[in-house]
């Protein structure tokens, strides 16, 4: 199922940009999901309130969309253990690169960070290569 619409994509991108700009303006923090999650589970973090609100909104928004528009996400591509493994690999990559795709792609590029540009080019290149490889092997 393909539900792509340029208007909904533009609206979603604008909301992500607005949210990350507000988080930076109000809290002075970058909207990188791995950093926000790390701050929630770190015993040294004292500012957990906004982090929990952000994560609950992130998961809750997706859950609400799935409830209101059941076909919005389509079927899962992986189940169980492979999905957990894929998530672990993404988390490891986020730790190695010093940030996640949202931190580098949305916030870092918005701040014209060279480090984020290199990270985005790297993970997008690897993603393209991975899709090509999977299509050849499948």
Model confidence at 3, pLDDT cuts 50, 70, 90, reads low
Distances in Å between the alpha carbon of 60 and those of 10, 65, 67, 105? 21, 8, 10, 22
- 23 closest CA partner among 45, 49, 44, 46: 49
Q: Are 107 and 20 in contact (CB under 8 A)?
A: yes
Q: Are 100 and 39 in contact (CB under 8 A)?
A: no
Instruction: Give the separation between CA 129 and CA 133, rounded to whole angstroms.
Output: 6
- 73 closest CA partner among 81, 61, 65: 65
Q: How many CA atoms lie within 13 A of 108 on its CB side?
A: 20
Instruction: Give the separation between CA 108 and CA 99, rounded to whole angstroms.
Output: 9
pLDDT one-digit tens code per residue, 13-42: 899 889 888 988 988 888 888 888 888 888
Pick the range with the lowest mean pLDDT from 55-59, 75-79, 130-134.
75-79
* DSSP state at residue 73: S
Using DSSP's 3-state secondary structure scheme, residue 68 falls into: helix
pLDDT one-digit tens code per residue, 74-130: 777 777 788 888 888 887 877 777 778 888 888 888 889 999 899 899 989 988 998
Task: Give residue for tokens 């493994």.
Answer: 85
Model confidence at 138, pLDDT cuts 50, 70, 90, reads confident
Q: Give the pLDDT score at 2.
A: 59
pLDDT at residue 1 is higher than 70: no
Q: Where are the domains of the chain?
A: 6-137
Instruction: Give the separation between CA 57 and CA 36, rounded to whole angstroms.
Output: 13
């Amino acid at each position: 199922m393909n539900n792509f619409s340029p208007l909904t994509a533009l609206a979603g991108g604008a909301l992500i940009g607005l949210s990350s700009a507000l988080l930076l303006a109000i809290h002075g923090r970058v909207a990188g999901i791995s950093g926000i999650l790390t701050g929630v589970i770190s015993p040294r973090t004292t500012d957990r309130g906004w982090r929990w609100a952000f994560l609950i909104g992130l998961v809750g928004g997706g859950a609400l969309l799935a409830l209101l528009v059941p076909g919005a996400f389509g079927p899962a591509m992986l189940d169980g253990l492979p999905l957990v493994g894929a998530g672990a690999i993404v988390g490891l990559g986020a730790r190695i690169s010093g940030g996640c795709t949202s931190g580098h792609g949305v916030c870092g590029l918005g701040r014209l960070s060279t480090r984020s540009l290199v990270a985005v080019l790297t993970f997008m290149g690897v993603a393209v290569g991975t899709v090509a490889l999977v299509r050849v092997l499948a």
